[in-house]
């Protein structure tokens, strides 16, 4: 059978092994994205909206994170979590937690850097105007972030893009264990090496559809945010 047709059959028929890999990918990348957003977005906003002594080096450091090779991240996390490493006693190597850890390190700088670039373009007038109308500091901050909401959505999309397609780091720290740490990207590598092109194509199609779906969802969220005022 044509590998492409076989790939569609695997997806549509609900092949258990394929769907376990897909769900594990969603679980690991979703968790990593959430944690990366919770860390990267506040850091990016804090640096973007404030002025402090070592701001320049801090910005440079965050932007350097964009150039981090995922395999190097994987190697560092591996060394940290390996038995002889400083976090070895946690016994997290070759676990989904280790993969989430690595993906957070990969996605975090993307989210922080895009957030930083977006928020530093917000004029201070926005904060002054909000404060002058009686807004508290948190409310004023939210109103500042609202000015760049579409860019913040783009930051999340950038973080998602960085981890959903990543293979090097998750391969090193996850080990590609079936049912445990095998995700779509590592599965594609494995099935290609095995010559099982139908399964590799099936994972590839799902990966592309997932990327498209998530980005469309984020786009829609950004669009809705621009159309709707904040609740009073």
Contact residues: other proteins, CB under 8 A: 123, 125-126, 128-129, 131-136, 139, 143, 146-147, 226, 229-230, 232
Q: Which is nearer to other proteins, 20 or 139 (CB)?
A: 139
**CA distance linking residue 60 with residue 57, whole number of Å:** 5
56 exposure class (CB count in 10 Å sphere: 0-12, 13-18, 19+): exposed
Least distance to other proteins from the beta carbon of 140, Å?
9
**CA distance linking residue 53 with residue 222, whole number of Å:** 33
Return the closest-CA partner of residue 25 out of 105, 135, 126, 100: 100
CB 77 within 8 A of CB 90: no
Least distance to other proteins from the beta carbon of 216, Å?
23
Q: Which is nearer to other proteins, 113 or 126 (CB)?
A: 126
The structure tokens listed for 65 are: 């994170």
**CA distance linking residue 180 with residue 167, whole number of Å:** 15
Q: Which is nearer to other proteins, 16 or 232 (CB)?
A: 232
Q: Which is nearer to other proteins, 3 or 123 (CB)?
A: 123
CB 63 within 8 A of CB 69: no
Helix (H, G, I), strand (E, B) or coil at 44: helix
Q: Which is nearer to other proteins, 83 or 227 (CB)?
A: 227
Measuring CA to CA, how many Å separate 60 from each of 29, 39, 156?
Answer: 26, 18, 20
Least distance to other proteins from the beta carbon of 231, Å?
8
Q: Which is nearer to other proteins, 3 or 136 (CB)?
A: 136
Least distance to other proteins from the beta carbon of 129, Å?
4
Return the closest-CA partner of residue 29 out of 167, 220, 134: 167
């Amino acid at each position: 059978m044509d590998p492409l047709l076989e790939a569609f059959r695997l997806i549509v028929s609900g092949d258990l092994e394929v769907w376990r890999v897909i769900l594990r990918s969603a679980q690991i990348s979703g968790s990593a994205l959430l944690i990366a957003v919770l860390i990267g977005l506040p850091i990016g906003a804090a640096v973007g909206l404030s002025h402090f002594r070592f701001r320049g080096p801090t910005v440079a450091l965050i932007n350097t994170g964009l150039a981090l090779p995922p395999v190097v991240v994987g190697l560092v996390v591996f060394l940290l979590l390996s038995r002889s490493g400083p976090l070895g006693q946690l016994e997290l190597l070759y676990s989904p937690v280790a993969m989430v850890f690595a993906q957070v390190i990969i996605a975090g700088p993307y989210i922080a850097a895009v957030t930083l670039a977006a928020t530093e373009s917000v004029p201070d007038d926005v904060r002054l105007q909000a404060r002058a109308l009686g807004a508290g500091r948190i409310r004023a901050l939210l109103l500042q972030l609202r000015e760049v909401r579409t860019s913040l959505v783009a930051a999340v999309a950038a973080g998602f893009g960085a981890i959903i397609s990543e293979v090097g780091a998750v391969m090193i720290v996850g080990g590609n264990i079936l049912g445990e740490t095998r995700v779509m990207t590592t599965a594609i590598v494995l099935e290609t090496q095995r010559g099982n092109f139908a399964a590799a194509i099936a994972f590839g199609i799902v990966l592309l559809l997932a990327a498209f779906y998530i980005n469309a969802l984020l786009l829609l969220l950004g669009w809705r945010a621009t159309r709707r005022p904040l609740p009073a």
